[in-house]
Structure 1
Amino acid sequence: METLINYLLQFGNLNKQQMDFITSKSTELALRKEGYFSEAGKIAKQVGFILDGILRVCYYNNKSEEITSYFIDENNFVVDLDSFDNKIPSSGYVQAVTDCKLIVFSKQNWEEIANTIVGWESIVNKIVKKSLIQKIERRSPLVSEDATTRYLAFMEKYPQLANRIPLSYLASYLGVTQSSLSRIRKNIR
């Protein structure tokens, strides 16, 4: 819980009473590898903070191919924000790549925090802004670079993720086949 509080304090001030209130509204969730945090066609009902593990956001394209949009690792929030905020069915999946441990907040508890803590909305807005910037930084190079450059850039930027993610997910994220990724890796060594 201390990890979550320290993360929140980067975005705004909270007193002891507010921190205790946030803590009281959360629960821990163990999510097994390949389990779903949220699923397409269902309304997202919780916000999570990842203590341990990696999740991926994925969807199926019009050819029924599974596409990984991005990965989320420790010390980050995870939620299908559009589904959660607007109570609409999600268009994608949030799936555990590894066994994960999260702190979760139900929609009701998240709203209670928002209605009780002055400045909570500002903290959340700063976190969402940071997440959107990270998302853009992760996706932008994938559009304009060749596959080898994309792989090298991923390895440089996320060395801690590379050995924890199955090759099939990494290939999907990079927009290449698994055999192409294997060839790229072989040529680099």
Structure 2
Amino acid sequence: MEALVNLILQFGNLNKQQIEFLLSKVEMLELKKDEYLSEAGKVPRYVGFVLEGVFRFCYYNNRGEEITNYFVDEGNFVSDHEKFESQMVASEYVQAVTDCKILVFNKKGWDQISDTIVGWDMMKANMVKKCLTLAMERRSPLVSEDATTRYLSFIDAFPNLVNRIPLSYIASYLGITQQSLSRIRRNIR
């Protein structure tokens, strides 16, 4: 809980009562590897803060191939935020890559925080902005670089994930085959 509070306090000030109110709206959720926090075709139920584990955002393209779009690890929020806020059906999956422990807010609790804490909406907007900026910084090098450089950029962006997630997910994220990724890894050792 302390890590969640510390992250939130980077975006504004809350007094002790506001922090207690915020924490009264959170619950612990444990997901096993391969379980979903959110699924395509369903309305996302939670905004989560990752205590332990790794999640990935993925979808299926028009050829039925699974594409990994993004990873989220400890100390970060995980949510299909736009669909959660508007309570619309999600178009991608948020899947546990490892066993995960997260603190979650359901929609009712999340809205009660907004209705009760003055300034929460601005703090929330700044948190979302930071998450989107980080995602863009991590994704944009992948567009124009060769495969080896994309892999090295991945290692820089996600240094703690390389040995924690399947190579197939990394290859999908980088837009290359698993065989190409294996060759790249052999060549840079």
Q: TM-score, normalised by structure 2?
A: 0.98
* Cα displacement (A) at 1:85: 1.5
Runs of 4+ deviating beyond 6 Å: none
1:136: which partner in 2?
136
Is the contact made by 2:138 and 2:157 (CA closer than 8 Å) also made in structure 1?
Answer: no
Residue aligning to 2:87 = 87
How big is the shift at 1:86?
1.5
Give deviations 1:57-102, integer Å, cap 9, x for gaps: 0000000000000100111111112211122110000000111100
Letter in 2 for 1:131: C
The within-5 A match list for 1:70-109 is 70-109=70-109
Identity %: 61
**Count of aligned pairs:** 189
Where structure 1 has 5 or more consecutive residues not aligned to the other structure, the ranges are none
How far apart are the structure 1 equivalents of 2:154 and 2:81? 25
CA distance in 2, matches of 1:106, 1:88: 14
Match of 1:119 in 2: 119
Are 1:30 and 2:27 an aligned pair? no
1:1-40 to 2 correspondences below 5 Å? 1-40=1-40
Paired residue secondary structure (1:33): coil
The CA distance in 2 between the partners of 1:112 and 1:150, in whole Å, is: 42
Counterpart residue type for residue 17 of structure 2: Q
Residue pair 2:59, 2:67 contacting (<8 A) in 1 also: yes
The letter of the residue matching 2:187 is N
For the 8 Å contact 2:28–2:104, the answer to whether it is kept is yes
Distance in 2 of aligned mates of 1:85 and 1:5? 21
Shift of 1:25: 0.7
Tell me the alpha carbon deviations over residues 116-140 of structure 1, each in whole angstroms, 9 at most, x when there is no partner. Answer: 0011111101100001111111111
Q: 8 Å contact 2:27–2:104 — kept in the other structure?
A: yes
The whole-number CA distance in structure 2 between the counterparts of 1:48 and 1:136 is 20
3-state DSSP class of the match of 1:176?
Answer: coil
Matching residue of 1:58: 58
Matched residue SS, 1:3: helix
The one-letter code matched in structure 1 to 2:173 is Y
Q: Distance in 1 between matches of 2:102 and 2:39?
A: 17
Question: Secondary structure in 1 aligned to 2:112?
Answer: helix
- The amino acid that maps onto 1:127 is M
Q: Mean alpha-carbon deviation: is it higher for 54-63 or for 83-92?
A: 83-92
Amino acid at match of 2:113: I
Unpaired segments of 5 or more residues in structure 2?
Answer: none
2:12/2:123 contact within 8 Å kept: yes
Q: What is the Cα deviation at residue 157 of structure 1?
A: 2.7
3-state SS, counterpart of residue 159 of structure 1: coil
What amino acid maps onto 2:13 in structure 1? N
> Which residue matches 1:171?
171
What's the CA shift for 1:187? 1.0
Distance in 2, matches of 1:86 and 1:119, equals 20
TM-score by length of structure 1 reads 0.98
